[in-house]
Structure 1
Amino acid sequence: MEKRNVDDRLSNLPNDILVNILDRLNVREAARTSVLSRRWIQLPATMSQLTITAQDFCRPRTSMSDDELRRINAAVAEATKSILARRDPGGCTIRLLSTTFFLRDDTPISVGRSVGNAMATHEIEKAEFTVLTENQSIDFPIEDKLNYGIQFVSFFNECPNAFAGLTRLHLENLRFSESDFVLNILGTCKQLKCLSFVSCDTEDWITLQVEHEQLSELSIFDCQFDEVELKWLPKLTRANFEYWINFAEPPLSFGHVPLLEVVSLSNIAVSSHKMVKLSTLLFETSVRDLRLGFRCEKIWVQPECWTRQLAYVFHQLRIVNLVEIPEGYDLTWTMFILEGAPFLEELYMTVMDHHCEMQMDKEKRREGLYSEKKGVEWKSTTSNFKHHSLTNLIMFCFQSDDHMVRHVRRVLEAAVNLKDVYLYDRVPCRKCVDVKSKRFPRTKKHRCLLKNRMTLCIMSLAVIHFLSPCRMRPDHSARTLQFSNSLCA
C-alpha cells in the first residue's frame, strides 16, 4: 500500500500543476504521458502552451532526404490537427500556439486550416508560424526563391483566418512576383506583433512602407528592398536591420516609432559604402539599447564630434554593443559614443576577425571591392572629457595588444564611476579552429603587469577581470547571442 502511494504521488498533484509540467515539454513528450493513467489521457488536451516544430520529429543522425522531409512535415500537420481537434471548444485558453514547418506539399495549408478552425472556437493569446524552406543556402537559385514565393502565396490565400489571427510570423527565402504582396501580409495580419523576413524580396525592387498598429518587433535580414520606411508603427519597440551591401548607404528610415528602444544594425561594408551618421539615421528615435555589427570588415559608422543633434539622439542610450570590430585597428573612434551618450551605463565590444564568415580569397576581395583599410581615425574636440554614468566595460576577444590596452586606459580615465572592466578571451568558434588567442594574459604575473599598464597614473576604483568564455556571466553571454537569432524568436 505504501509503495502504491509513493508511485502515485505525481498523479495526486492538482491538474493545474500537472498541466504546468506538460507545458514545459514538447508536444511529442507531452503526448506520451497519456499512457500513464486514465487521468493523464485528458491532460494534454488542456495544455496552454502548444509548440509543434519540425525539429521535434527529426530522427537522430538522419540526413534530411526528400522522404524524410515529407515524413516530418506530415507529422507536424497530423500533430497539429489531432491536438487541436481534441480540445473542448470554449475550454481552457491557449496561451501559445506555435508551429514550425517546411514550405512544401500540402502541409502548410493543412496546418493553416487547423489553426484557423481553432481560432474560431478557442481563445488563443499568441499564434505563431515559422515557415522554413528546404534550401538554406544564401546563394541558391532565384528560381527556387520564386517557387517558394508562389507556394507561400497559395498557402496565404487558402488560410486567411489563420493569418488574420497570427501574432508572430517568420518567413525566409521567398521572392514575390507581386510587388505589393508584403503589404498584403501586413494588411491581413492585423494582430501581428512580431515579423521577421530573412532573404526575402520582390521581382521589382520596391520601397517598403511599413505601417501597422500592433507590430512591436521587426527583423529584416538580407532582404533586397529599394528602401524600407518604418512609417507608422506606434507600438514598435525592437528593430533589426542587417545587410545593405548593394547600397551606398542604408536603405532605412524611421518615421513614427515613439516606443522604439532596441535597434540592431549590421552590415559588411565595402569601399563604395558611405559612412553612416547615427545622428541623422536615428534622429526620430529614442533608442536605449543599440547594437552595431561590422562583420570584421570596414567600419561603416562615422564618428561624430558632439552636437546638439547627436546629444538628442543619444540622450536615452543606456547600452551599446559593438560587434565584430575588425582586429588590429585603433579603437579611439568608439569614444564618440561615450561623449554623445551621457547616461550610457554599459559598453560591450567584440574585437575579432571571424575567418569562417569573412571573404579571405584575395582575388574575390578585390572583385567585391572589399576595403583593405578597415579602421577609422577620429580625434575628440573635447579636452579632459569625463563620463559619470558608465559602470561596466565588457570586451570580448581581448588581446594584450597596445591599441586595446590604450583603449581600456582611455575608458578608465574618462569614466569616473566605472565599477568593472570585464576582459574575455576569444570566444571559441568550431569553424575557426585554426584561429587561437595568443596574446591573452593567462598567468597571474602577466595579468598583474597588464593591470599596472592600464591603471598607471589613473585614479580609478574599477575592478579589472580577466575571464575565459567558460566563466562568462549569463548577462554577458546573452549579449553575445542577443541578435544571432531573429528578434522575434
Structure 2
Amino acid sequence: MQKGSRDDRISALPDDILVNIIDRLNVPDAARTSILSRRWSQLSAKLSRLIINAQHFLPEGVSNVNVSDDEMVRVNAAAVEATKSILTGRSPGEHTIRFLSAAFYLRDDVPISIGQAIGHVMETHLVEMVQFSVMTGKVGTDDLNDDELIICGREFMRFFDACQNAFGGLTSLDIENLRFGESDIPNILITCKQLKHLRMLNCDSGDPSALKVEHAHLSELSIINCFFEQVMLNWLPQLTQMTFDGWINYQDPLVLGHVPLLETLSLTNTGYSFHNLVKLSEFISSTSIRDLKLGFRSEKIWVQPECPTESLASVFCQLRFVNLVNLPEGCDLTWTMFILEAAPLLKELYMTVWDHACMMETDEETRKEEMYSENRGVEWDSSASDFKHHSLVTLIIFGFESEDYMVSYLKRVMEAAVNLEDVFLYSSLECNHCDAKPARFPRTKRQRMSLKKRVTAGIESFAIIHSSPTLRDDHLAKIVYPECSLEISRTMLLRQ
C-alpha cells in the first residue's frame, strides 16, 4: 500500500477480474472476502461458480471417512446457511450462474432446504449447470446393512419428491448407498430431463434386478459396486463416457443398446475361480471405443484373449488408449499382446502391476471359502510370431520389476511396435493405507544400464527407455482409481 492510501493493489483491480479470482474459491473462503469492504461484499452476488460443500465446514483433521453423526448435522446446517446467504443476495436475472454445485449429507430436512433454495434460484436466475452430490457419511459397503440402505433410499426419495423443480434442471447427480424401489430410478431419470452426468455408488433395488437406462441428454454414466443383475443401456444417444465397476452376473452383465457416441469405457471387476473369462468382442460389441480401461483389482484376469476376428476388429478399430489397472504380480503379461494385434491404431498402452492389499482379500481361509482364484494369470500365445504394430508410440508400466517375465514381455512389445518412441518404467505405487513390498526396480545408474542391455539384446528398436523415479504430470493425470480410496500425490505415488 502506498503511504497515505487506504487502497491496496488487489482492490484496484476491475470487478470482473476480482470476480474471476473469487470464483476459484469455495463458498466459506468466498464469504470471508465480503467483510473486507462494501465493494467486496457486493462481488459475491456476481459470482458465476458457486460450490457449496458440507465437507468444507468439517473441523481440521476430520474427513468423510471418520465424520460423526453430530458433525454431519452441524456441517449440514452450515451448508444450509451458506446456501441461503450466497443465493439471497443475487438480483434475479442480472448475472448468469454457470456452475452451481451442492454437496451435503442425507440427514433430516437439510437436503430439502438446500434443494428448495436452489430450485427457487433456478426459477428466477440464469443457471447453466447444477450438480447435487448426496453423501451418507458411510465409506465402503461393510459400513451399511440392508436396513440402512433402505432408510437412506427412502430419505433420498423424500428429498427428490419435495424438490421436483430443482431436479428438473439438474445436470449432474452423484449418489451413494441407496436402495431404491422398483420405479424410483426410472422416475428420477424422467424428472431430471437435463441430466448429463450420473454417478451411482453402492446402489441397488433390493433383489438382483435389471437396470434399464434411457435418457436423451446423459453423456457420462458411472455405475460402481451397484448390485444389479444386468445393466441395459437401451437408449442413450449422447452417452460418451461409461464406468462399470463391479458386476455380480457374468452372463451379459452389460447390454449396450443405442449408444452411438460411446468413446470412453472403464470396466473393473474381481475375477473369482468360478467365473468364465469375458470376451471383449461380445461384452462391448456394437461399439468403437477410443479409450479403454480394464481393472482387475489384483486378482484373476477376467478377460479372455482372442485371436483377431471381424467382431473384435470392429470393437477395437478406433482404439487409441488402453489402461490396464492392478494386474496381479508375477503373472505372464503376454496375453495383452492380443490387444495390440486387434487395435492397429493404438497409440498409448498403460499398465499397473500391483498386488494392492487394500482391495485384496488376504485371509487364506476366506479366500478358500469365497473361491478366490490362486491361479490369477491367463495363458495365450499368438500364432502371428512376426506381428508388427505401426501406431504404438508410448508404453508405460507402473510397478516394473527386473524379473524375467517383465523383461521378456518388454522385449516382445518393443520388437513388435516398430514405431515405438518412449518406454516409461516406474517403481511400485504406494498406498497410504497399506504396506507394499519394494519392487526389484533398477535403482542405480549401473542397474538401469544393465536393464536396458537385457531388454534390447537381440532386437532392433529406436524406443527410449526412461526409468527415472520422477513421475511426469501427464502420466499422473491418467492414473485414476475410482474403485478404491487410494490417495495419489507426487510425493506418495512411487516407492523409491
Band the TM-score falls in, shorter-chain normalisation:
over 0.9
Cα RMSD after superposing both structures? 1.5
Q: Distance in 1 between matches of 2:111 and 2:443?
A: 53
Q: Which residue of 1 aligns with 2:475?
A: 476
Instruction: Find out whether 1:411 has 2:413 as its counterpart.
Output: yes
TM-score, length basis structure 1: 0.96
Q: Which residue of 2 aligns with 1:278?
A: 280
Q: Distance in 1 between matches of 2:437 and 2:7?
A: 53
Q: Which residue of 1 aligns with 2:35?
A: 35
Report the CA distance shift for 1:482/1:134 in structure 2 as closer, same or farther (over 3 A).
closer
Q: Distance in 2 between matches of 1:2 and 1:290?
A: 57
Q: 2:179 aligns with which of 175, 179, 188?
A: 175
Q: Distance in 1 between matches of 2:388 and 2:427?
A: 28
Q: Which residue of 2 aligns with 1:309?
A: 311
Q: Distance in 2 between matches of 1:485 and 1:356?
A: 8
Q: Confirm or deny: 8 A CA contact 1:256 1:284 kept in the other structure.
A: no
Q: Confirm or deny: 8 A CA contact 1:399 1:437 kept in the other structure.
A: no
Q: Which residue of 1 aligns with 2:128?
A: 125
Q: Distance in 2 between matches of 1:26 and 1:484?
A: 26
Q: Which residue of 1 aligns with 2:201?
A: 198
Q: Distance in 2 between matches of 1:2 and 1:332?
A: 69
The alpha carbon displacement at 1:485 in A equals 8.2
Query: Which residue type is aligned with residue 310 of structure 1?
Result: L
Q: Which residue of 2 aligns with 1:382?
A: 384
Q: 2:163 aligns with which of 159, 164, 170?
A: 159
Q: Which residue of 1 aligns with 2:20?
A: 20
The alpha carbon displacement at 1:99 in A equals 0.4
The alpha carbon displacement at 1:172 in A equals 0.3
Higher mean displacement: 328-337 or 224-233 = 224-233
Q: Distance in 1 between matches of 2:53 and 2:4?
A: 37
Q: Confirm or deny: 8 A CA contact 1:195 1:217 kept in the other structure.
A: yes
Higher mean displacement: 155-164 or 224-233 = 224-233
Q: Which residue of 1 aligns with 2:448?
A: 447
Report the CA distance shift for 1:250/1:442 in structure 2 as closer, same or farther (over 3 A).
farther
The alpha carbon displacement at 1:282 in A equals 1.4
Counterpart secondary structure, 1:97: strand
Instruction: Find out whether 1:87 has 2:90 as its counterpart.
Output: yes
The alpha carbon displacement at 1:11 in A equals 1.3
Q: Distance in 2 between matches of 1:67 and 1:373?
A: 47
Q: Distance in 1 between matches of 2:330 and 2:250?
A: 25
Q: Distance in 2 between matches of 1:151 and 1:307?
A: 50
Sequence identity, in percent?
56
Counterpart secondary structure, 2:431: coil
Q: Distance in 2 between matches of 1:4 and 1:370?
A: 75
Instruction: Find out whether 1:461 has 2:462 as its counterpart.
Output: yes
Q: Confirm or deny: 8 A CA contact 2:218 2:236 kept in the other structure.
A: yes
Q: Distance in 2 between matches of 1:220 and 1:109?
A: 25
Counterpart secondary structure, 1:379: coil
Per-residue CA deviations over 1:346-404 (Å, capped at 9, x if unaligned) read: 00010110012210111100111100100000011213000000000000010001100
Higher mean displacement: 248-257 or 453-462 = 248-257
Instruction: Find out whether 1:340 has 2:342 as its counterpart.
Output: yes
Q: Distance in 1 between matches of 2:35 and 2:225?
A: 47
Q: Which residue of 2 aligns with 1:227?
A: 230
Q: Distance in 1 between matches of 2:3 and 2:33?
A: 21
Q: Distance in 1 between matches of 2:213 and 2:9?
A: 54
Q: Confirm or deny: 8 A CA contact 1:33 1:40 kept in the other structure.
A: yes
Higher mean displacement: 350-359 or 331-340 = 350-359
Counterpart secondary structure, 2:10: coil
Counterpart secondary structure, 1:296: coil
Q: Distance in 2 between matches of 1:363 and 1:205?
A: 27
The alpha carbon displacement at 1:5 in A equals 4.7
Counterpart secondary structure, 1:136: coil
Q: Which residue of 1 aligns with 2:492?
A: none
Instruction: Find out whether 1:252 has 2:258 as its counterpart.
Output: no
The alpha carbon displacement at 1:312 in A equals 0.9
What runs of 5+ residues in structure 1 fail to find an aligned partner?
Answer: none
Q: Distance in 1 between matches of 2:37 and 2:6?
A: 15
Counterpart secondary structure, 1:480: coil
Instruction: Find out whether 1:102 has 2:101 as its counterpart.
Output: no
The alpha carbon displacement at 1:438 in A equals 3.9
TM-score, length basis structure 2: 0.95
Q: Confirm or deny: 8 A CA contact 1:249 1:273 kept in the other structure.
A: no
Counterpart secondary structure, 1:71: helix
Per-residue CA deviations over 1:90-126 (Å, capped at 9, x if unaligned) read: 1100001000000011100000100110010011111
The alpha carbon displacement at 1:250 in A equals 5.1
What runs of 5+ residues in structure 2 fail to find an aligned partner?
Answer: 486-496
Query: Which residue type is aligned with residue 474 of structure 1?
Result: D
The alpha carbon displacement at 1:136 in A equals 2.2
Counterpart secondary structure, 1:286: coil
Higher mean displacement: 310-319 or 250-259 = 250-259
The alpha carbon displacement at 1:225 in A equals 1.2
Query: Which residue type is aligned with residue 371 of structure 1?
Result: S
Query: Which residue type is aligned with residue 60 of structure 2?
Result: P
Q: Distance in 2 between matches of 1:137 and 1:482?
A: 15
Moved over 3 A (4+): 4-7, 482-486
Query: Which residue type is aligned with residue 456 of structure 2?
Result: T
The alpha carbon displacement at 1:482 in A equals 6.1
Q: Confirm or deny: 8 A CA contact 1:249 1:275 kept in the other structure.
A: no
Q: Distance in 1 between matches of 2:462 and 2:4?
A: 62
The alpha carbon displacement at 1:137 in A equals 3.3
Q: Distance in 1 between matches of 2:459 and 2:106?
A: 60
Q: Distance in 2 between matches of 1:467 and 1:267?
A: 31
Q: Which residue of 2 aligns with 1:239?
A: 242
Q: Distance in 2 between matches of 1:37 and 1:85?
A: 19
Q: Which residue of 2 aligns with 1:11?
A: 11
Per-residue CA deviations over 1:418-472 (Å, capped at 9, x if unaligned) read: 0000000001112222x2324100011111111011001211110001122xx11
Query: Which residue type is aligned with residue 462 of structure 1?
Result: A
Report the CA distance shift for 1:6/1:388 in structure 2 as closer, same or farther (over 3 A).
farther
Q: Which residue of 2 aligns with 1:401?
A: 403
Query: Which residue type is aligned with residue 378 of structure 1?
Result: W
Query: Which residue type is aligned with residue 107 of structure 1?
Result: V
Q: Distance in 2 between matches of 1:295 and 1:208?
A: 24
Q: Distance in 2 between matches of 1:250 and 1:25?
A: 45
Per-residue CA deviations over 1:219-245 (Å, capped at 9, x if unaligned) read: 00011112111111111010000111x
The alpha carbon displacement at 1:141 in A equals 0.9
Q: 2:219 aligns with which of 216, 219, 222?
A: 216
Q: Confirm or deny: 8 A CA contact 1:320 1:348 kept in the other structure.
A: yes
- Give the count of matched residue pairs: 481
The alpha carbon displacement at 1:7 in A equals 4.2
Q: Distance in 2 between matches of 1:290 and 1:134?
A: 31
Report the CA distance shift for 1:11/1:484 in structure 2 as closer, same or farther (over 3 A).
farther
Q: Distance in 2 between matches of 1:459 and 1:9?
A: 61
Report the CA distance shift for 1:484/1:251 in structure 2 as closer, same or farther (over 3 A).
closer
Q: Distance in 1 between matches of 2:127 and 2:258?
A: 29
Q: Distance in 2 between matches of 1:32 and 1:355?
A: 43
Q: Confirm or deny: 8 A CA contact 2:298 2:360 kept in the other structure.
A: yes
Report the CA distance shift for 1:310/1:4 in structure 2 as closer, same or farther (over 3 A).
farther
Q: 1:136 aligns with which of 134, 139, 150?
A: 139
